């Protein structure tokens, strides 16, 4: 299957700083990427849908100014957690799909964010 690379896999940052997470589709073009958040022992919660060349669509309850999403190219989407707080500590996962409806979504390896 196709490969989606997410970086970094782990990051520890201080409260008040910003952290950028990258999601790359390595061998296909992804017009749409998705960002999920997973709390301990919980399911994945869709945060936002990232469309290349346009603004991201955020799910209800997700702060747009807190979680900045940029999808500048067909192979790269970034999630920036701004002014991070300990409650932002979580496992963040991206997924990407090739163009076309209902094709398989490929997932990145996830990023474990710890805010201290």
In the complex, the residues that contact other proteins under the rule CB under 8 A are 1, 4, 6, 32, 34, 41-44, 46, 49, 91, 93, 95, 97, 101-110, 112
Smallest distance from the beta carbon of 86 to other proteins, in angstroms?
19
Q: Could you tell me which residues are beta bridge partners of residue 96?
A: 33, 106
Smallest distance from the beta carbon of 84 to other proteins, in angstroms?
19
Q: Residues 18, 22, 23, CA angle at the centre, nearest 5°?
A: 150
Q: Could you tell me which residues are beta bridge partners of residue 80?
A: 20, 68
**Cβ closest to other proteins, residue 30 vs residue 115:** 30
Q: Which of 27, 75, 73 is nearest to 54 (CA)?
A: 73
Smallest distance from the beta carbon of 62 to other proteins, in angstroms?
14
**Cβ closest to other proteins, residue 76 vs residue 108:** 108
Encoding tokens for residue 84?
Answer: 């991070």
Smallest distance from the beta carbon of 83 to other proteins, in angstroms?
25
Encoding tokens for residue 51?
Answer: 């469309």
Mention every residue, 6+ apart, whose C-beta is less than 8 A from residue 9.
109, 110, 111, 112
**Cβ closest to other proteins, residue 76 vs residue 93:** 93
**Cβ closest to other proteins, residue 53 vs residue 102:** 102
């Amino acid at each position: 299957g196709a490969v989606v690379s997410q970086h970094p896999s782990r990051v520890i940052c201080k409260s008040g700083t910003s952290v950028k997470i990258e999601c790359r589709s390595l061998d296909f073009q992804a017009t749409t990427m998705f960002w999920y958040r997973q709390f301990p022992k919980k399911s994945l919660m869709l945060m936002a849908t990232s469309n290349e060349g346009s603004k991201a669509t955020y799910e209800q309850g997700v702060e747009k100014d807190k979680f900045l999403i940029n999808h500048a190219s067909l192979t790269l989407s970034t999630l920036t957690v701004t002014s991070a707080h300990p409650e932002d500590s979580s496992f963040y996962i991206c997924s990407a799909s090739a163009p076309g409806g209902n094709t398989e979504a490929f997932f990145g390896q996830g990023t474990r964010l710890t805010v201290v």
